[in-house]
Amino acid sequence: MGNDRVSKGRVTIREVAERAGVSTATASRALSGNHPVPPATRARVLRAARDLDYVANAHARALVGGGRKMAAVVVRQVTSPFYAQVAEGVEAEAADRGWLCVVGATGGDAQREMEFVQLMREEGARLVILVGGVVEDDAYRERVAHYAHALDSSGARLVLCGRPAPDPEIPALVVEFDNEAGARAITAHLLSAGHRGIVFLGGLPGNTALDARVTGYRAALAEHGLPPEAAHVVDCGLGRAAGHRAMTELLKSTGEFTAVFAGDDMVAAGALRAIADSGLRVPGDISVVGYNDIPLAEDFNPPLTTVRTPAEELGRAAVRIALRDPEHAAGAHHLLGTHIVVRDSVGAPPPGRAL
């Protein structure tokens, strides 16, 4: 009775069964609750497991069960607020169902992305979520087609968050924000404040998320009766540094504009800094809007008017939709809504510069 746990190594179900005076089959049934067991027996087994500090071996379980409750989320980098929020959503939704969540950071490297997907196949993940816009070139299309088929043959599901499925035929689920609608709405917001010269700062041709925002931006201009040449897109890419550099450049130019639509909030942060450096004021001289509404956007100077993309909800939705009805999910395309958050970075155009 006193020799609990004297042997080295983990306690196995055999020891639990032995102590409870049942077979391993019965112990397994009592512990996993997979099959009914009389209350008295069940209690004995549970008691024994607790006494021995039994910990089930997830590998053995997964080995026989063929797969495991594990979701993987792959992002460019965990420290980006947007990706972090998506990852948190995935983690939360996974945790709610008792699933494990692993994260992979690629740093934007396709090679690491492939390695990670491969690793997830080995690990038997049942859900792989690839997050973040990309440039959709041939290499990308081929890569995703490969993932989709490889994971499909492993019985896993593939979700693309904010990136396109190259072919409607491949078994992947797409969940993303309606970037076009969001961009259209916030451009309309600037237009209704009186702005006519609006620069889109942060284009990245080939990146479908940004392309969609540009499309929405152009659509809003057109809807307000402006000619196509009123659109002015600066393809500086994303990031605070890029925004700062491009804005500094723009301020030196002779272009007529009174408002800036930054491709995302980080670009907006860089732009705001560049504007402040140049001695101009926001929104007195220039109005600025961003995209994504990162947590610190309300602490920008001034607090940033932006488009709220509920990133955590995106992560949650990805898991929820993928797991809801597997059959119907593959190949589907879900668009999540966004809305404008009005703060202090938009005002009327300065009288002297209004077009």
Question: Which of DNA, its own copies, none is residue 253 near (CB under 5 to 8 Å by kind)?
Answer: none
Specify the residue, 30 or 199, whose C-beta has the smaller distance to DNA.
30
**One-letter amino acid of 130:** L
With vertex at residue 141, the alpha carbon angle to CA 140 and CA 145, rounded to the nearest 5 degrees, is 115
- In the window 65-124, what residues touch DNA (CB under 7 A)? 65-66
Instruction: Classify each residue of 235-260 as buried b or exposed e, where b means 16 or more C-beta atoms within 10 Å of its C-beta.
Output: bbbbbbebbbbbbbebbeeeeebbbb
Classify the phi-psi angles of 288: left when phi > 0, otherwise alpha if psi is within -120 to 50, otherwise beta: beta
Question: Which of its own copies, DNA, none is residue 201 near (CB under 5 to 8 Å by kind)?
Answer: none
Element (H, E) at 59: helix 58-65
Non-local CB neighbours of 108 within 8 Å, separated by 6+ positions:
76, 77
177 bridge partner residues: 336
- Residue choice 77, 253, 328, 335 for contact with its own copies (CB under 8 A): 77
Angle separating helix axes 13-20 and 24-32, nearest 10 degrees: 100
- In the window 314-353, what residues touch its own copies (CB under 8 A)? none
Min CB(60)–its own copies separation in Å: 6
Q: Does 150 bind its own copies (CB under 8 A)?
A: yes
Question: Which of its own copies, DNA, none is residue 192 near (CB under 5 to 8 Å by kind)?
Answer: none
Q: Does 266 bind DNA (CB under 7 A)?
A: no
Min CB(177)–its own copies separation in Å: 18
Q: Does 192 bind DNA (CB under 7 A)?
A: no
Question: Which of its own copies, DNA, none is residue 22 near (CB under 5 to 8 Å by kind)?
Answer: DNA
* Token pair listed for 108: 């934007």
Element (H, E) at 115: helix 110-123
Question: Which of its own copies, DNA, none is residue 43 near (CB under 5 to 8 Å by kind)?
Answer: none
Chain residues in the site for its own copies (CB under 8 A): 5, 9-10, 53, 55-60, 62-63, 66, 68, 77-79, 81, 84-85, 87-88, 91-92, 95, 100-105, 112, 118-119, 121-124, 150, 153-154, 240, 269-270, 272-273, 276, 295-296, 299-301, 312
